[in-house]
Amino acid sequence: MRFLMFKADGGPRLGALRPGSTDEKVEVVELSEIADLRALIDSGDEGLAHARAALASSRSKSRRLADLDLLAPLDEPRGNVIAIGRNYQKHAEETAFMDGREPAPPTIFTKAITSLTEPFADIAIDPSISDKIDWEVELAVVIGKRGANIKRARAMDHVFGYTVLNDVTARDIQSGWGGQYFKGKSLDRSSPTGPWVVTRDEIEDPQSLKLFLRVNGVVKQEGDTRDMIYPVDAIIEWVSKGLTLLPGSLIATGTPDGVGFARTPPEFLKPGDVMETEVQGIGLLRNKMVLAAG
Reported as a single tens digit per residue, the pLDDT across 173-187 is 998 877 788 999 999
Are 180 and 244 contained in the same domain?
yes
Q: Are strands 107-111 and 81-85 parallel, antiparallel or unpaired?
A: antiparallel
Are 206 and 255 contained in the same domain?
yes
* Res 25 pLDDT > 80: no
Domain CATH code at residue 225: 3.90.850.10
Looking at residue 99, its pLDDT comes to 54
Quote the CA–CA distance of 22 and 285 in Å, as a whole number.
19
Q: How far is CA 73 from CA 8, 165, 203, in A?
A: 14, 11, 18
Are 142 and 235 contained in the same domain?
yes
Are 67 and 89 contained in the same domain?
no
| Mean pLDDT across the chain | 92
Looking at residue 95, its pLDDT comes to 59
Domain that holds residue 106: 81-291
Are 85 and 136 contained in the same domain?
yes
- Given 71, 89, 108, the domain boundary residue is 71
* Res 245 pLDDT > 70: yes
- Given 71, 91, 114, the domain boundary residue is 71
Are 198 and 58 contained in the same domain?
no
Nearest to 94 by CA among 83, 82, 102: 102
Question: What is the mean pLDDT of the segment spanning 160-182?
Answer: 92
Are 168 and 190 contained in the same domain?
yes
Selected residue with higher pLDDT from 26 and 173: 173
In a domain, 76, yes or no: no
3-state DSSP call for residue 207?
A: coil
Domain count, the chain: 2
Question: What is the mean pLDDT of the segment spanning 116-139?
Answer: 97
* Res 219 pLDDT > 80: yes
Model-level pTM greater than 0.95?
A: no
Q: Give CB contacts under 8 A, 24+ apart, made by 40-44.
A: 40/3, 40/14, 41/142, 41/144, 41/160, 41/247, 41/248, 42/247, 42/248
Are 65 and 152 contained in the same domain?
no
- What are the backbone dihedrals phi and psi of residue 176, each rounded to the nearest 5 degrees, phi first? -85, -10
Residue 123 pLDDT class (50, 70, 90 cuts): very high
